Amino acid sequence: MAAGLRTVILLSFVLAVGFLLIILSCALWQNWLPLLVALTFVLAPLPNALFSHCGSDDLNYEGSGPIDLGRFITSIIVVSGVALPIILAHSEVINPKACVMSIVGGGLVYGTILAYSAAFSQEDAEYE
Amino acid sequence: NYDPRRVCLNPFPEISLGKHRRTAGVYLAGALFALANWTFLDAAVLSAHAHSPWGQPDQDPPVHVSFVDWIPGICSLLGYLVITLIDKDRVRGDEGFGDSRAVWRARLFLFIGFALMAGGLAGSVTVLILKYILNGFPDQFTYYGYANVSQSVALMLSAIVLWIAQSGGSEYEYNLTL
């Protein structure tokens, strides 16, 4: 229980640092376009979460189409989250430092979501 | 086991990466797909915010990304859609899949999909040469054409990776049937 609590506190700190970096990258240059990166990385786990329940009833090992589609969309969204600030920085819409800060912050946010789901899905499995 | 009736053979080698092969392949295909489209969008955004050529601050940019540049990408995307929507087992032509017309039709649509992708690639090279290289624009603007070509190439790679990942995943079934 204590380990779980410590994990939650650590993950929430990392999440806060990630959002802080993204918001700083917007606010320091008065250009709020990098905020799209936060939106992208928050949306990234959604397709896998939705489609993972589609093919779970049939037990054959060969993966089904909806699961593949979910993974495909997840991959597209993650790459878009990294590519968007690079492109904006390339065409000098945002500062290169803002680009780096928003990518690092987005990576922290997405890593937090991944770590949270990985840490607490196993504990759910123990109860069932 | 060469069969001269087969138009679209499946010549890709069987690569075994264990049971995560399908997952990794699908993720890689998605990443390549996004990378392809963002490469071209980079050129489009860059063109919309284009500066004047280096060393001549009072001149306008000589060329912009117009609708002509979008056509190869749209062709490639349509071809990608057609290829990914085809049932891979139909194309392999195993017996017991209903009538043989279905196999024939699946191969026809697969051919249309590959033709669209190849047309997109050829069109992007055409745009690169006719619109950018022959007119002698500086590297700053020729980049639009190169981005177009790399979009088509990455879309083709993505389709190939997705095909390999999805078609080779039936070893378990072979073990069952044999």
Q: Is residue A59 situated within a structural domain? A: no
Query: B5 has which bridge partners?
Result: none
User: Which residues does A contribute to its contact with B (CB < 8 Å)?
Assistant: 60-63, 68, 71-80, 83-84, 86-88, 90-93
Q: How many domains does chain A have?
A: 1
Q: Determine the pLDDT at residue B175.
A: 45
Host domain of residue A30: 5-52+64-127
Q: Is A20 among the domain residues?
A: yes
Backbone φ and ψ of A114, nearest 5°: -60, -45
Nearest to B73 by CA among B97, B44, B49, B93: B44
pLDDT tier at A35 (50, 70, 90 boundaries)?
Answer: confident
* Contact of B84 with B159, CB cutoff 8 Å: yes
Q: What is the ipTM of this complex?
A: 0.81
List the single best residue of A69, A71, A84 to mutate versus B (max B Cβ within 10 A): A71
Looking at per-residue pLDDT, the higher value among A107 and A2 belongs to: A107
Phi then psi dihedrals of residue B19, to 5 deg: -80, -10
Q: H or E stretch including B138?
A: none
Instruction: For residue B22, give the chain A residue with the closest CA.
Output: A63
User: Does any domain span residue A34?
Assistant: yes
Q: What average pLDDT is seen over chain A? A: 82
pLDDT per residue, tens digit, chain B (178 aa), is 566 655 555 555 555 556 677 788 889 999 999 999 999 999 998 888 877 766 666 677 778 888 889 999 999 999 999 988 887 766 666 655 566 677 788 888 889 999 999 999 999 999 999 988 888 888 888 889 999 999 999 999 999 888 888 776 555 444 444 4
Q: How far is CA B119 from CA A41, A102, B74, B115, B160, in A?
A: 34, 38, 10, 6, 16
Of A49 and B59, more confident? A49
Q: How would you label B92-131 residue by residue, b for 16+ Cβ within 10 Å and e otherwise? A: bbeeeeeeeeebeebbeebeebbebbebbbebbbbbbeeb
In a domain, A85, yes or no: yes
Task: State the Rg of chain B over Cα.
Answer: 21
Taking an 8 Å cut-off on Cβ atoms, the answer to whether A83 and B45 are in contact is no
- Model confidence, pTM: 0.80
Residues linked to residue B19 through DSSP beta bridges, in sequence order? B17
Q: Which of the residue ranges A42-46, A89-93, B86-90 would you say has the lowest mean pLDDT?
A: B86-90
Q: Which of A51-60, A65-74, A111-120, B70-79 has the lowest mean pLDDT?
A: A51-60
Q: Which residues are paired to A54 by β-bridges?
A: none
Question: Which residues in chain B have their CB less than 8 angstroms from residue A81's CB?
Answer: none
B23:A80 CB<8 A: no
- Report pLDDT for A116: 86
Picking from A59-68, A105-114, B48-57, B118-127, which range would have the lowest pLDDT averaged per residue?
A59-68
CA distance A55 to chain B (A): 14
Residue A40 within a domain: yes
Which is higher by pLDDT, A125 or B64?
Answer: B64
